Amino acid sequence: MRHEAVSQLIDLGRLSEDCVPPALADAETAWTILHRGRVAWDDLATRLSRDDLASLIRGLIHYNRASGPAALGGSVSPVIRLYSAHTSRFPEDEPSLTGWIVANRVNPYEPFGTMKCNDAPTFAAHLARRSARRAKSSENDLLEAARQREAAGRRRDVASTRLAAAVRRGDRSAVEALLAEGANPEKALNGASLVELAVANGRDAVAELLRERGIR
């Protein structure tokens, strides 16, 4: 048996006016009916006729406009599920229904279930904008990764430049830190031996460290 609130919402959708149906007049009762299993939305979405399903969606939005944007629960609004079913069952009606919802909703999650790219006038436009947004995000991720690689390369170049000076003064801790930062021993002295530099300056501990790291 259809819940009384559903019948009243369908009638409200046909009347196309903002008001609260009698069955939903009490806010707590309304929340229980709409969100706690009193209405089997998925079952309704498959059983209702084309006109009744569209009228129910419109009725819910009119109710939401009259009672406040929080009444249908944001991202858990039954409008989202009913719209998805209507779009699947009656795709030829989708553009006009989508345009009406976007123009009249007070819940920004309706009808697509997201606040991203949610001002599209049709479902196809929503999908296209979402794909473009994701592509742009991927492009930005690639650009950021490239910037990070460049920054890391600059840090390694600086570390390489400082490595020879650290070897020359016998600063073992600095040598270890610079190597950890990615310093390239081959660039430190333009290919000359860092071990020979350490030995020539009496920095035997640093020379031993370099040998242990396989650096000539």
Each residue of 158-192: pLDDT tens digit? 888 898 899 999 999 988 988 888 888 888 888 78
pLDDT of residue 1: 54
Calculate helix-pair angle for 204-212, 172-180, nearest 10 degrees.
Answer: 30
Q: Which residue, 92, 121, 150, sits at the end of a domain?
A: 121
Q: Which residue, 105, 121, 137, sits at the end of a domain?
A: 121
**Are the CB atoms for 170 and 142 separated by under 8 Å?**
no
Q: Which residue, 64, 96, 121, sits at the end of a domain?
A: 121
Residue corresponding to tokens 């000359």: 192
C-alpha distances out from residue 70 to 23, 30, 63, 76, 104, Å: 18, 12, 11, 10, 15
For residue 11, give every residue at least 6 positions away whose Cβ sits within 8 Å of its Cβ, in sequence order, or none: 21, 55, 59
Instruction: Indicate whether 13 and 77 sit together in one domain.
Output: yes
Instruction: Indicate whether 175 and 85 sit together in one domain.
Output: no
Residue 123 reports pLDDT greater than 60 = yes
Instruction: Indicate whether 108 and 51 sit together in one domain.
Output: yes
Instruction: Indicate whether 82 and 186 sit together in one domain.
Output: no
Q: What is the pTM of this model?
A: 0.61
CA-CA distance, 134 to 140, in Å (whole number)? 10
Instruction: Indicate whether 181 and 116 sit together in one domain.
Output: no
Phi and psi angles of residue 27, each rounded to the nearest 5 degrees, phi first: -60, -40
pLDDT-derived band at 63 (thresholds 50, 70, 90) equals very high
Residue 31: give the domain boundaries: 4-121
**Are the CB atoms for 197 and 191 separated by under 8 Å?**
no
| Count of structural domains, the chain | 2
Q: For the segment 3-61, what is each residue's pLDDT rounded down to a tens digit?
A: 899 999 999 999 999 999 999 999 999 999 998 877 899 999 999 999 999 999 999 99
Instruction: Indicate whether 182 and 92 sit together in one domain.
Output: no
Instruction: Indicate whether 94 and 154 sit together in one domain.
Output: no
* Residue with more model confidence, 34 or 126: 34
Q: In the predicted model, what is the mean pLDDT of the chain?
A: 88
For residue 147, give every residue at least 6 positions away whose Cβ sits within 8 Å of its Cβ, in sequence order, or none: none
